[in-house]
């Protein structure tokens, strides 16, 4: 009897040892690959690496690519802040964009982190679909501040004879689908104090809209060359007033958020300086000071990535300063 117990113990010992050895030798599963993200090799980066989910199967909006930029020496032992950016295909490599310009996000992120001016962060870039970009990025609920007649004539302002706004669905995709995926796939801090949204032009409007609709999700927004016009510039255009009335009612009060706005005065940006006093008044009425909200003017700057990449350090430092 004792003999068989002894044999059983020996077998059990070697079995456990083999299992332990097997568990050590098995490679750790790559969460990025499991989620469908693949590293983009044919891209010119100043630093870091780029992973792409080629076609996110959203139930809210039309499927599109999503990019995630990771800094050099990205580690799963550390939790990073996250900056969600619109127009993702314009952020990293000018050789692959339609106008041969880029935001230089990887350049600025690498330099600012390297100089210890900002907390460590990753960037999530949501690609746009040019034909429906306006519908995706217009702050949809601002339409409620138009009269019935103005709503019916909205085609006169956006240049489309028929339209279906998707701003709320775009935010549903961002908050209810994409953010949970990023939170479980990458090593990030999930709280609002480490979650930001940034964009230019219509993306600036959507960034303002995101922090207004989901103030418990986003701790700050950077709205660069914000397209206060709302659509095509014109002498008779009720959209700016509707947008500002929406902001008066829904932009979060000061205390828990950081808001960055800016504008130039060339090309499409020439239409924005007239709205600066209204933006300033809204921020002041909400209790913001220069410590948590700015609306900066850049003389001679136009509406392009080449202008935005010259000052991208300012919104990044403003939102992500240590």
Read off the pLDDT of residues 49-62 as tens digits, 9 standing for 90 and up: 999 999 988 999 99
Average pLDDT value for residue range 195-218 = 98
User: Where are the domains positioned within the chain?
Assistant: 29-320
Instruction: Just give the CATH number of 29-320.
Output: 3.40.50.1820
> Please, what is the average pLDDT of the chain?
90
Q: What is the pTM of this model?
A: 0.90
Q: Which tops the pLDDT comparison, 29 or 303?
A: 303
CA nearest neighbour of 203 among 91, 81, 314: 91
In sequence order, what are the residues at sequence separation of 6 or more whose Cβ sits closer than 8 angstroms to the Cβ of residue 133? Answer: 87, 202
Residue 166 DSSP label? -
181 CB-contact burial (10 Å; exposed 0-12 / middle 13-18 / buried 19+):
middle
With a cut of 90, say whether residue 239 has pLDDT above it: yes
> CA distances (Å), 124 to each of 65, 75, 190, in order?
11, 17, 14
pLDDT at res. 184: 96
In this prediction, what percent of the chain has a pLDDT beyond 70? Answer: 89
Instruction: Tell me which of 160-174, 202-216, 217-231 is least confident.
Output: 160-174
With a cut of 80, say whether residue 17 has pLDDT above it: no
| Alpha-carbon gap, residue 109 to 50, rounded angstroms | 13
pLDDT, tens only, 94-115 = 999 999 999 999 999 999 999 9
DSSP 55-120: ----SSS----EEEEE-TT--TTSPBEEEEESSGGGSS-GGGSTTS----HHHHHHHHHHTT-B--
């Amino acid at each position: 009897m004792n003999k068989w117990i002894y044999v059983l113990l020996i077998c059990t010992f070697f079995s456990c040892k083999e299992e332990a050895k097997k568990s050590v030798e098995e490679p750790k599963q790559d969460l990025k690959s499991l989620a469908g993200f693949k590293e983009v090799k044919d891209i010119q980066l100043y630093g870091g690496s780029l992973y792409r989910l080629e076609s996110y199967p959203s139930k809210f909006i039309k499927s599109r690519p999503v990019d995630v930029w990771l800094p050099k020496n990205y580690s799963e032992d550390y939790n990073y802040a996250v900056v969600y950016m619109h127009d993702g295909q314009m952020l990293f490599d000018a050789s692959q964009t339609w106008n041969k310009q880029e935001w230089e996000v990887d350049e600025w992120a690498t330099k600012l982190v390297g100089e210890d001016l900002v907390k460590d962060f990753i960037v999530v870039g949501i690609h746009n679909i040019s034909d429906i970009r306006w519908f995706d990025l217009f702050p949809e609920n601002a339409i409620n501040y138009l009269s019935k007649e103005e709503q019916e004539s909205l085609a006169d302002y956006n240049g489309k004879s028929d339209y279906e706004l998707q701003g709320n669905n775009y935010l549903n995709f961002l908050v209810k689908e994409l953010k949970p995926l990023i939170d479980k796939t990458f090593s990030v801090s999930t709280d609002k104090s480490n979650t930001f949204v940034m964009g230019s032009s219509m993306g600036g409007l959507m960034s303002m809209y995101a922090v207004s609709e989901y103030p418990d999700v986003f701790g700050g927004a950077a709205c660069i060359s914000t397209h206060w016009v709302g659509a095509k510039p014109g002498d008779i255009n009720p959209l700016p007033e509707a947008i500002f009335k929406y902001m008066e009612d829904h932009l979060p009060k000061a205390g828990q958020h950081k808001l960055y706005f800016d504008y130039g005065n060339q090309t499409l940006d020439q239409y924005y300086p007239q709205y600066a006093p209204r933006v300033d008044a809204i921020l002041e009425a909400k209790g913001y000071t220069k410590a948590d909200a700015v609306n900066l003017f850049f003389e001679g700057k136009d509406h392009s990535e080449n202008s935005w990449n010259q000052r991208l350090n300012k919104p990044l430092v403003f939102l992500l300063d240590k």
